[in-house]
Amino acid sequence: MKAQTLYEKLWNSHIVQQQADGTVLLYIDRHLVHEVTSPQAFEGLKLAHRPLWREQSIVATADHNTPTDHWDKGITDPISKLQVNTLDKNIHDFGVEKYYPFKNINQGIVHVVGPEQGATLPGMTVVCGDSHTSTHGAFGALAHGIGTSEVEHVMATQCITAKKSKTMLIEITGKLKPCITAKDIALYIIGQIGTAGGTGYAIEFGGEAIRNLSMEGRMTLCNMAIEAGARSGLVAVDQTTIDYIKDRHFAPKGELWEQAVSYWKTLVSDAGASFDKTYHFNAEDIEPQVTWGTSPEMVIAVNQQVPDPDAETDPVKREGMQRALQYMGLTAGTPVNEIPVDVVFIGSCTNGRIEDLRIAAQVAKGRHKADNVNRVLIVPGSGRVKQQAEAEGLDKIFTAAGFEWREPGCSMCLAMNADRLQPHERCASTSNRNFEGRQGNGGRTHLVSPAMAAAAAVTGHFTDVRHI
């Protein structure tokens, strides 16, 4: 049989029907649902008097609109409250069982909760009305975001219509230098291939540096595949994947576990499988990354200087750079490590997992928030992450450092809840998007790893975490 890529294996095993023009009806195994993109879909089903095709495929939680402090006061913002209450009602009306509502111990960001509960498994097709569904590809699952009309379609039929992506392999050879994390790999790759580099492709990440990543790291990387333009990212299944899943709530048990594992082990690209495009990067070239502009591709290493638009020959790019510098309040030539920060945000579906909090705590331990830093928010990705962090005493390290220890949710990743930047506030953020206004109107976002964010919090400016 012809050697196949992992993507092709996942694609082929989910085709329900194929049209002459290549359009496919693709079966969906897991449907993740949150409050932002589900209301119209549920409404559509209600109007058409349709039930859910497979209620058990749905895992739902509230994340974008939930507050991350003063939970005793409930949700005070009326729009957020309506959004979350609507989800509660829809879940109740349609009889969805796997639901983690506001304040439930298992509640959290949907892309943290799914894998944590063992609801994301290798070989699955996973969709959600959310672009960062690419995260779940870390498990050797075909996972991508869908629009609200597709959410309704999946609810009604368990299928989407789709066209096959082209395949891309990004290989990171060698070993990462100390303190370099998956976030730095993700930002480095986007810096190299650009935010449109992966458009039309499903990206498989491979090579020694990827094999050595934990599942948390692989999720961080696949999470940002969408910022490289690809709807889905993938990492092949190996023992790390299998060990992570074992004994999780929805993971198969007993004999089913054995059967599943032997199937999952086939979820790798065959030797000799050909990709439409391949990139090779060397892990040793990756330094701690910091974005300086308003797109994730506007990224440099912490020991570099803010680039000069005048040195850019492409007039469109030059103008984009000028605009970005203006928005960010930065001057070309400024060393990155001289840029002061006002706010630090550690959390999100990119970097709100236990490993991220452990790294941040290592940096924060015995240190204190710098005087010029107004706020440092530490926001666990889920109730379970919070619980685990507290069991390890990480919350104590953070609060002793003058950081705020919050409840789980999307928080300051995007301005849909109470956690926002003020105009012109500059933030070191572990999230995935630095678009204008993303964290609040006029707010200035610099994307970094959790280690780099914690280093900025305690020094008051961007700092190479290896040198503090």
Binding site for ligand SF4 (CB under 6 A): 63-64, 109, 111, 130, 132, 348-349, 410, 413-414, 431-432
Token pair, residue 224, equals 């940002």
- Residue closer to ligand SF4 (CB basis): 339 or 410: 410
Single-letter amino acid, residue 172:
I
In this structure, how many other beta carbons lie within 10 angstroms of the beta carbon of residue 64?
21
Q: Which partner in ligand SF4, ligand IPM, none is near 348 (CB below 5 to 8 A by kind)?
A: ligand SF4
- Residue closer to ligand SF4 (CB basis): 353 or 461: 353
Task: Determine if residue 413 is labeled as part of a ligand binding site.
Answer: yes
Question: Quick one: 169 exposed, middle or buried, by C-beta within 10 A (0-12, 13-18, 19+)?
Answer: buried
CB 457 → ligand SF4: shortest distance, Å? 19
Q: Would you count residue 165 as binding ligand IPM (CB under 6 A)?
A: no
Q: Would you count residue 64 as binding ligand IPM (CB under 6 A)?
A: yes
Question: Taking a C-beta distance cutoff of 8 angstroms, is the pair 136, 143 a contact?
Answer: yes
- Residue closer to ligand IPM (CB basis): 30 or 64: 64
Task: Determine if residue 222 is labeled as part of a ligand binding site.
Answer: no
Measure the CA–CA gap between 56 and 158, rounded to whole angstroms. Answer: 11
- Residue closer to ligand SF4 (CB basis): 130 or 395: 130
Strand partners, 58: 31
Measure the CA–CA gap between 468 and 465, rounded to whole angstroms. Answer: 6
- Residue closer to ligand IPM (CB basis): 9 or 231: 231
Q: Would you count residue 114 as binding ligand IPM (CB under 6 A)?
A: no
User: One symbol per residue from 131 to 150: x for binding ligand IPM (CB under 6 A), - otherwise; what is it?
Assistant: xx------------x-----
CB 34 → ligand IPM: shortest distance, Å? 8
- Residue closer to ligand SF4 (CB basis): 14 or 64: 64
For ligand IPM, which residue has the nearest CB?
131
Question: Taking a C-beta distance cutoff of 8 angstroms, is the pair 462, 302 a contact?
Answer: yes
- Residue closer to ligand SF4 (CB basis): 62 or 364: 62
- Residue closer to ligand IPM (CB basis): 263 or 435: 435
Q: Would you count residue 112 as binding ligand IPM (CB under 6 A)?
A: no
Q: Would you count residue 375 as binding ligand IPM (CB under 6 A)?
A: no
Q: Would you count residue 130 as binding ligand IPM (CB under 6 A)?
A: yes
Q: Which of 356, 325, 350, 349 is nearest to 452 (CA)?
A: 356
CB 434 → ligand IPM: shortest distance, Å? 12
CB 64 → ligand IPM: shortest distance, Å? 5
CB 369 → ligand IPM: shortest distance, Å? 27
CB 105 → ligand IPM: shortest distance, Å? 22
Q: Which helix (H) or strand (E) holds 178?
A: none
Q: Would you count residue 126 as binding ligand IPM (CB under 6 A)?
A: no
CB 255 → ligand IPM: shortest distance, Å? 38
Question: Taking a C-beta distance cutoff of 8 angstroms, is the pair 108, 383 a contact?
Answer: yes
Q: Which partner in ligand IPM, ligand SF4, none is near 109 (CB below 5 to 8 A by kind)?
A: ligand SF4
Binding residues for [4Fe-4S] cluster, as ranges, are 349, 410, 413
Binding residues, as ranges, are 349, 410, 413
- Name the residues that contact ligand IPM, by CB under 6 A: 36-37, 64, 130-132, 145, 414
